[in-house]
Structure 1
Amino acid sequence: MIDTNEPIRIAVVMGKYVTGGIKSVILNYYTAIDKDRIQFDLIIDKNSADRDYDEFTTWGAKIYEVTPINKNPVKNIYDVQKILKTQNYKVVHGYLNTLNILPMFSGFLAGTKIRVAENLSTAHPKEPKTFFKNMLKPFGRSFATHLAANSKYAAEWLYGKKELENVKILRNGLDLKHFHYDLNLRKKRRRELNINNNTFVIGHIGRYQFQKNHSFLIDIFQEIHKRNDNTRLILVGYGDLKNEIWGKIRKMGLTDCIIDGGASTNNVANYNAMDCFVMPSYYEGLPVVGIEAQATGLPCVFSSEITEEASIIEPVSFLNLNEDSSIWANEILKFQNHSRIETRDVLTKHGYNIEVESQNLYLYYKYIMN
């Protein structure tokens, strides 16, 4: 039973503490949740580049740094197990996708009664690490007492169709008071980026890694710019492939019309500055940035490798990655005169209002602990 006088402390295993992705999902929930009833304590890789934990610790969260899995998986299991046992956690919630077997095993060894494994991603055959993901997939349910995912697609990919009825879908909720269309913010951000009001702006937010397929995005933009030279592309993100991608941009002579948005944390302003959001990803679970973009009323063009669960507002298009870049350009240019709409009600209806979803998460924890 839950002691209502003290908050439930959840041990959240998130791996690397980096901007975007898993951190965004957890932070959105943590910011909105009633911290008199729920507290998140984070278990993080000690070699994370970002070590600024104030956004969690200011509100009472504890931070534990452990040996990274890629450095020493056995030591990682031991470190996590020790924390869970010493602190006597009743619940451990892993966000490591196919690697959840490790924190779930740690929880098993520590005697942690409730062990939630959540999957937020999938894979693509061309990515080298897919070989290891496929090796781990059969163990996706191992040592977990409860299964969760951010979409049915992600749930089926890791756990299989037979397990779908046993998987809790926890949507990537957003603060819809923050994520919305704001004309004044749009004008301000465009001035900062030196973009004219009548320029058609394509945008992308994501780490420079194989999954996001930046190289094809540059090919698409080249086709767009050939047809309309009053166009710009904003790239927001960081990652191992950034130098390679910007080398391609320079080689193609596109540096004057592609904007490096850096590793921005003010993405609401960036979405408002854009006119179309494009994600030619090789794979996703259910992309947070795709939901954020739609919350600001942006039309989106996604690859067909992204689940159609990501389509919330109109218009959202899905194109096959086998289609030529010119086909993608044609589709994107359809949105040159698109008017933005209010999205709060439809996002709330589809389960992306964090005010509602944080309460649902609390009720979920309460249910599985009783």
Structure 2
Amino acid sequence: MGAPRPRRTARQQAGGGGWQLLVEPAPLKLRYNKPSARIQMCKGAVSMKILMISNHLGVQSGVQRYVQNLLLNLDLTRYQVDLFVGLCPPDQASCAPALEAAGVHIIAVPDNKKARIRALYQHLKTHKDYDIIHYHTASKIGAPVCGMMRVLCPHAKIIVHSHIVYPPMTLTWRAAHLVYQLFADYFLGCGVAAGRFVFGDHIDRRPNFSVACNAVDQTRFYPNAAARTAIRAQYGITGTERLAGFVGRLNHQKNPLYLIRVFAAMVQQDPRWKLLLVGGGEQEQPMRELAAQLGVADRVLFAGVQNNVPDYMNAFDLFLLPSNFEGSPVTLVEAQGCGVPCLASTNVPGDGSVTELVHFLPLSAPFEEWAKTADSIAPGGPHADYWPTLAAAGYELKTAAHRMEQVYDKVAGEGAR
């Protein structure tokens, strides 16, 4: 026999550090070496370039409201932010004008997952100079996208940010945990439960995980007697009537048909109740039909999508949130900021239950129990101020934005300056 042929190895390396593709007789192997982030010096100050990736520009999205709140309160003289995001759905108002006025560069792409991923791939092929990629994710498909970002931007530090708890846990989710942990540098969750669900059961034990509270603007969401009076007058709510409310997308996640059944039980117990729904979605027509079947159609008011959400929150005597699944809903914090009692399903994680205003019941509980609880926790009248408690827990927006700046500085390897 002749001497064996020498093994040939071809090495292709992306940049000074990053993916190395080793071509051998065995199957391809990928090896990743994490480089340090690059911080650009601009006129004596730190200028960190960040790509933030979110779902779409519509104001009904809780994730996008969080992103908007964060970006409007970051120090944009220190952080240059590109927001890669889906176009605003046609039935929603867009947050783009406010963000662009603040100095955020928006890269808007078609609002569907496949189109966004293709567009992100094309963008990162030619824009590799990001110091940080902040990826707001709530899906299994986000895991391979995280790997794609690592290959295309080997120098960037990747922060993945979970906003959802969406049981049941499956083997596919378990696999996604491993992929996220392989490629990401830092992990954020709107709560511990959201972090564990998307990134792994023990992710909160790691030093590169932290909770990013879904903070809200104290200057907008606060007890406002004048706004309460105005909205109630606009919808003909008399002084003796009680008003339950909901703010959000009318879709499966929010469980709006269950909400109508809860409300019907509330009316049976106390006919003074009315229900005001702020938002739109694919289940609006089924909700109208169910309300008619249950004999409460004349007491259910559909307000559609509104920009002055704090005014509506103040009008409520009770905020209802019987969701099928959630991360840590922004609306729950907004309601507490306005001093409104809240009744939510136990499918809503308790992270955002900061004050004594929030009460939980399982979806398996009888509707009559929901009605009795609603009656007992919603006395009506002027709302009290719970902001000292909310602020102490980290839900004040400017404090939360400063904490995110500290995360960016830490992940990028530079202390705050």
Indicate whether 1:311 and 2:311 are aligned: no
Query: Alignment partner for residue 153 of structure 1, among 189, 193, 203?
Result: 193
Q: Distance in 2 between matches of 1:41 and 1:272?
A: 34
Query: Alignment partner for residue 165 of structure 2, among 93, 116, 122?
Result: 122
Larger Rg: 2
Aligned pairs (5 A) from 1:273-312? 273-312=315-354
1:205 deviates by 1.1
User: Could you say if the C-alpha distance between residues 91 and 342 of structure 1 is closer, same or farther in structure 2, counting changes exceeding 3 Å?
Assistant: same
What one-letter code is carried by the residue in structure 2 that aligns with 1:94? Answer: Y
Residue in structure 2 matched with residue 247 of structure 1 by the alignment:
289
What one-letter code is carried by the residue in structure 1 that aligns with 2:67? Answer: I
CA-to-aligned-CA distance 1:249-290 (integer Å, 9 cap, x gap): 233332211111211121100110001111111111101000
1:69 deviates by 5.3
Aligned pairs (5 A) from 1:2-151? 3=41, 5=45, 7-19=47-59, 20-46=61-87, 48-49=89-90, 53-66=96-109, 70-72=113-115, 75-82=118-125, 84-85=127-128, 88-98=129-139, 99-108=141-150, 109-125=152-168, 136-151=176-191
Query: Alignment partner for residue 368 of structure 2, among 316, 326, 333?
Result: 326
CA-to-aligned-CA distance 1:171-219 (integer Å, 9 cap, x gap): 1111112110011111011111211123111111121111111111111
Q: Distance in 1 between matches of 2:74 and 2:117?
A: 33
Q: Distance in 2 between matches of 1:245 and 1:115?
A: 41
CA-to-aligned-CA distance 1:86-108 (integer Å, 9 cap, x gap): xx111110112224325423421
Q: Distance in 2 between matches of 1:241 and 1:102?
A: 31
Task: Indicate if the aligned counterparts of 1:94 and 1:103 stay in contact, CA closer than 8 A.
Answer: no
1:124 deviates by 3.6
Q: Distance in 2 between matches of 1:280 and 1:313?
A: 18
Q: Distance in 2 between matches of 1:52 and 1:358?
A: 18
Query: Alignment partner for residue 201 of structure 1, among 228, 233, 243?
Result: 243
User: Could you say if the C-alpha distance between residues 182 and 306 of structure 1 is closer, same or farther in structure 2, counting changes exceeding 3 Å?
Assistant: same
Residue in structure 1 matched with residue 13 of structure 2 by the alignment:
none
* Count of residues in correspondence between the two structures: 365
Task: Indicate if the aligned counterparts of 1:101 and 1:142 stay in contact, CA closer than 8 A.
Answer: no
Residue in structure 2 matched with residue 355 of structure 1 by the alignment:
398
CA-to-aligned-CA distance 1:326-359 (integer Å, 9 cap, x gap): 1101000113425622112111111100111111
Q: Distance in 2 between matches of 1:201 and 1:135?
A: 45
1:71 deviates by 3.4
User: Could you say if the C-alpha distance between residues 336 and 91 of structure 1 is closer, same or farther in structure 2, counting changes exceeding 3 Å?
Assistant: closer
TM-score scaled by structure 1? 0.91
What one-letter code is carried by the residue in structure 2 that aligns with 1:159? Answer: F
What one-letter code is carried by the residue in structure 2 that aligns with 1:343? Answer: Y
Q: Distance in 1 between matches of 2:88 and 2:325?
A: 26
Residue in structure 2 matched with residue 270 of structure 1 by the alignment:
312
TM-score scaled by structure 2? 0.81
Q: Distance in 1 between matches of 2:88 and 2:147?
A: 22
Task: Indicate if the aligned counterparts of 1:66 and 1:79 stay in contact, CA closer than 8 A.
Answer: no
Task: Indicate if the aligned counterparts of 2:74 and 2:401 stay in contact, CA closer than 8 A.
Answer: yes
Task: Indicate if the aligned counterparts of 2:176 and 2:199 stay in contact, CA closer than 8 A.
Answer: no
Q: Distance in 1 between matches of 2:48 and 2:231?
A: 41
What one-letter code is carried by the residue in structure 2 that aligns with 1:155? Answer: G
Unaligned runs of 5+ residues in structure 2 are 1-38
Task: Indicate if the aligned counterparts of 1:104 and 1:142 stay in contact, CA closer than 8 A.
Answer: no
Secondary structure of 1:332's aligned partner: helix
What one-letter code is carried by the residue in structure 1 that aligns with 2:192? Answer: K
Q: Distance in 2 between matches of 1:117 and 1:54?
A: 26
What one-letter code is carried by the residue in structure 2 that aligns with 1:312? Answer: V
Q: Distance in 2 between matches of 1:292 and 1:311?
A: 11
Unaligned runs of 5+ residues in structure 1 are none
User: Could you say if the C-alpha distance between residues 150 and 107 of structure 1 is closer, same or farther in structure 2, counting changes exceeding 3 Å?
Assistant: same
Q: Distance in 2 between matches of 1:168 and 1:352?
A: 14
User: Could you say if the C-alpha distance between residues 80 and 165 of structure 1 is closer, same or farther in structure 2, counting changes exceeding 3 Å?
Assistant: farther
What one-letter code is carried by the residue in structure 2 that aligns with 1:82? Answer: K
Q: Distance in 1 between matches of 2:95 and 2:353?
A: 33
> Share of identical aligned residues, percent?
21
Indicate whether 1:191 and 2:233 are aligned: yes
